[in-house]
């Protein structure tokens, strides 16, 4: 039996070419288009932002694959109408996002950006002034979210000599080795909420790295009370979603130097048009005026390998499904991840 798959977005040429190559000898037909077709009969739809019409177009639809990590908020609402359709993620960009998280941590901890900008003007004062860089070796790190990205971030931090605590929602057995976190704290089975676990483990941490998805439970999870628990030297990194950290609280802590710095890749506002992309602030507070923040425009998963990897991960999922296996990376619609 042939599996019918529809790409409900305009893929990058490199991604589409690689996907067709990988599926060329499989019992899989691949169609493409963002507009609904009255004759649609696909069983799997691949799209991150499908319209309701595209979802409803095929009476045979069984699964949606969102071709990145996370679930856009509007899809949680839309798919409440389609309980027969399962939703799945791709994690092809986990390594790249974890690499950027580590980069932001180190850049903020070592104050790379302001010192670079000063030295470009011939200003060497940073060498002769009291040190402001945070030494990561021997410091305490909390990784909030222990999925595909969080696991890689935790291992990188352990390799830097940090003491690492990972906080996650679900309790699972994990294989352990020298780069495993010192502690994995789970909401399940602990009798505590996520916020209560944070208050238990964040105290005096030198780094807080957020790798959580945006869900009703994580919205505004990090506020002034949570930030106040951190060491005054602490660096916060967010590669999860902007809404997880209260914007005003984060800005106030950075401006007052209550914490040492931050590296931020996910924001509160996003450009809606191509024209806005050239001149748009993703925040309401003036983060761009602070020299203890490293700003990144939500590009954690963007590398020269991103699109071929997306195709390879998609092909792997589809081929496994044709061979009788369940589609992996299924999202719990109620949990939001």
Q: What is the pLDDT of residue 38?
A: 85
Q: What is the pLDDT of residue 80?
A: 85
288 catalytic? Reply is: no
Say if residues 75 and 280 touch (Cβ distance below 8 Å). Answer: no
Catalytic, out of 21, 81, 219, 276: 276
Spatial CB neighbours of 227, under 8 Å, sequence gap ≥ 6: 236, 249, 250, 253, 258, 259
Catalytic, out of 152, 155, 241, 313: 241
206 catalytic? Reply is: no
What one-character-per-residue DSSP string does 192-259 give? Answer: --HHHHHHHH-TT-SEEEE-PPP-TTTTT-B-HHHHTTS-TT-EEEE-S-GGGB-HHHHHHHHHTTSS
Per-residue pLDDT of the chain (337 residues; tens, 9 = 90+): 899 999 999 999 989 999 999 999 999 999 999 999 888 999 999 999 999 999 999 999 999 999 998 888 788 888 888 999 999 999 999 999 999 999 999 999 999 999 999 999 999 999 999 999 999 999 999 999 999 999 999 999 999 999 999 999 998 888 999 999 999 999 998 889 999 999 999 999 999 999 999 988 999 999 999 999 999 999 999 999 999 999 999 999 999 999 999 999 999 999 999 999 999 999 999 999 999 999 999 999 999 999 999 999 999 999 999 999 999 899 988 777 8
CATH architecture of 94-295: 3-Layer(aba) Sandwich (3.40)
* CATH fold group of domain 3-92+304-322: Rossmann fold (3.40.50)
Q: What is the pLDDT of residue 209?
A: 98
Catalytic, out of 298, 302, 305, 316: 298
Helix residue spans in the chain (DSSP H): 13-23, 52-57, 73-78, 94-109, 112-119, 125-128, 148-159, 194-201, 224-227, 247-255, 306-322
298 catalytic? Reply is: yes
Q: What is the pLDDT of residue 260?
A: 98
Report how far residue 263's alpha carbon sits from residue 212's, in angstroms, rounded to the nearest whole number. Answer: 15
Q: What is the pLDDT of residue 333?
A: 82
Strand order in the sheet with 293-295: 183-186, 163-168, 140-144, 207-210, 235-238, 261-264, 293-295
Q: What is the pLDDT of residue 6?
A: 97
Domains 3-92+304-322 and 94-295 belong to one CATH topology: yes
Task: For helices 306-322 and 13-23, give the axis angle rounded to 10 degrees.
Answer: 30
All structural domains of the chain with their residue ranges: 3-92+304-322, 94-295
Of the candidates 238, 217, 220, 69, the one whose C-alpha atom is nearest the C-alpha of residue 153 is 238
pTM (two decimals): 0.94
């Amino acid at each position: 039996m042939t599996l019918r798959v529809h790409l409900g977005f305009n893929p990058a040429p490199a991604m589409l070419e690689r996907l067709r190559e990988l599926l060329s000898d499989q019992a899989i037909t691949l169609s493409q288009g963002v507009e609904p077709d009255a004759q649609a009969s696909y069983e799997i739809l691949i799209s991150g932002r499908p319209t309701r019409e595209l979802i409803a177009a095929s009476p045979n639809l069984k699964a949606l694959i969102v071709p990145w990590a996370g679930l856009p908020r509007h899809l949680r609402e839309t798919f409440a109408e389609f309980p027969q359709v399962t939703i799945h993620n791709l994690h092809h960009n986990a390594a790249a996002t974890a690499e950027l998280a580590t980069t932001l941590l180190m850049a903020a901890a070592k104050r790379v950006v302001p010192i670079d900008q000063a030295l470009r003007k011939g200003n060497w004062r940073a060498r002769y002034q009291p040190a402001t860089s945070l030494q990561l070796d021997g410091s305490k790190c909390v990784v909030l979210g222990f999925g595909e990205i969080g696991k890689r971030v935790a291992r990188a931090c352990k390799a830097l000599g940090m003491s690492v605590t990972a906080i996650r929602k679900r309790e699972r057995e994990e294989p352990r080795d020298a780069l495993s976190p010192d502690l994995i704290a789970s909401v399940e089975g602990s009798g505590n909420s996520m916020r209560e676990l944070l208050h238990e483990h964040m105290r005096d941490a030198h780094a807080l790295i957020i790798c959580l998805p945006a869900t009703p439970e994580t919205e505004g999870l990090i506020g002034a009370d949570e930030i106040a628990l951190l060491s005054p030297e602490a660096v916060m990194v967010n590669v999860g979603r902007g809404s997880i950290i209260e914007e005003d609280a984060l800005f106030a802590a950075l401006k007052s130097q209550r914490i040492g710095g931050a590296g931020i890749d996910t924001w509160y506002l996003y450009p809606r048009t191509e024209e806005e992309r050239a001149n748009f602030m993703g925040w309401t507070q003036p983060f761009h005026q602070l020299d203890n923040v490293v700003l990144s425009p939500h590009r954690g998963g963007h590398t020269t390998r991103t699109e071929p990897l997306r195709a390879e991960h998609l092909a792997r999922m589809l081929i496994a499904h044709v061979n009788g296996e369940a589609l992996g990376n299924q999202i719990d619609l109620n949990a939001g991840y």
